């Protein structure tokens, strides 16, 4: 274009974020999930985001995603195998509650031809159902599973980043009432100090150069999906 600024090498177009409409994933138990596992989404539905980056070399990068996805399961998560010493007070659990507040961003394999609306709905449902039917052994383990679920649900997506924080739930001390808490009574605790970021991509696909991160993280964990 004649009016283009010569010093500009790329253009990044990001539309305004808007609240996503209900997509049918807020039921108590998704299909195929064991009846003993229940879940819900806390707060409002996640926000839809999209990003298109245009470079002078003709490269177009298209990303989509969900922001502020809050999920919680009342069972099916473990917390074992961590290092212990004389000062460790954290208990081990083989069945505990697990919650996460996360952002999910996906990278399309090509700039045009994808059904973005269908992909968004499939990705949202895949994330919810994957967490509800998943045995979590760590935040990294779970985020990798969620990213893999998005790849499986969306053939047009070639890479996914899942990043966020574990929603901490602390056991309530019931000893003043003369009883032990066997992992049934929890209270919310805002003690999270860092986030986890996991990248999942298809075999033979290079992770995108375009920034996908939305949160300050202590480092991403790569995870490959063989296809």
Q: What is the mean pLDDT of each run of 10 residues along the chain (227 residues)?
A: 47 48 42 49 75 88 92 77 83 77 93 91 92 82 94 95 83 85 74 79 74 48 57
Q: What is the pLDDT of residue 224?
A: 57
Residue 213 sits at the vertex; the CA angle it makes with 120 and 224, to the nearest 5 degrees, is: 70
The DSSP line for 17-52 is: PEEPPP-S--SSS-TTS-TT--EEE-SSPPEEEEEE
Q: What is the pLDDT of residue 27?
A: 41
Q: What is the pLDDT of residue 5?
A: 47
Rounded Cα gap, residues 225 and 202, in angstroms: 5
Q: What is the pLDDT of residue 98?
A: 79
Q: What is the pLDDT of residue 218?
A: 42
Q: What is the pLDDT of residue 29?
A: 45
Q: What is the pLDDT of residue 216?
A: 43
218 CB neighbour count, 10 Å cutoff:
9
User: Which value, to the nearest 10 degrees, does the dihedral of the CA atoms of residues 204, 212, 149, 100 take?
Assistant: 150
How many DSSP H helices and E strands does the chain contain? Answer: 2, 11
Q: Using alpha carbons, list the distances in angstroms from residue 108 to 19, 161, 163, 227.
A: 22, 12, 18, 16
Q: What is the pLDDT of residue 195?
A: 83
Rounded Cα gap, residues 98 and 135, in angstroms: 10
């Amino acid at each position: 274009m004649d009016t283009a600024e010569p010093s500009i090498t790329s253009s990044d177009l990001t539309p305004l974020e808007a609240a996503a409409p209900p997509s049918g994933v807020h039921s108590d138990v998704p299909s195929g999930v064991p009846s003993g596992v229940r879940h819900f989404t806390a707060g409002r539905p996640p926000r839809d985001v999209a990003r298109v980056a245009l470079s002078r070399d003709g490269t177009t990068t298209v990303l989509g995603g969900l922001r502020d996805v809050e999920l919680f399961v009342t069972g099916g998560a473990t917390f074992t195998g961590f290092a212990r010493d004389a000062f460790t007070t954290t208990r081990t659990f083989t069945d505990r509650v697990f919650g996460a507040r996360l952002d999910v961003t996906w990278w399309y394999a090509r700039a045009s031809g994808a059904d973005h609306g269908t992909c968004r709905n499939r990705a949202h449902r895949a994330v919810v159902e994957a967490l509800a039917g998943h045995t979590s052994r760590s935040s990294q383990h779970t985020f990798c599973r969620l990213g893999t679920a998005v790849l499986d649900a969306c053939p047009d997506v070639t890479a996914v980043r899942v990043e966020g924080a574990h929603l901490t739930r602390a056991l309530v001390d019931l000893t003043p009432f003369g009883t032990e808490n066997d992992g049934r009574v929890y209270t919310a605790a805002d003690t999270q100090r860092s986030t986890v970021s996991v990248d999942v991509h298809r075999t033979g696909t290079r992770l995108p150069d375009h920034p996908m991160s939305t949160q300050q993280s202590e480092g991403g964990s790569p995870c490959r999906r063989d296809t």
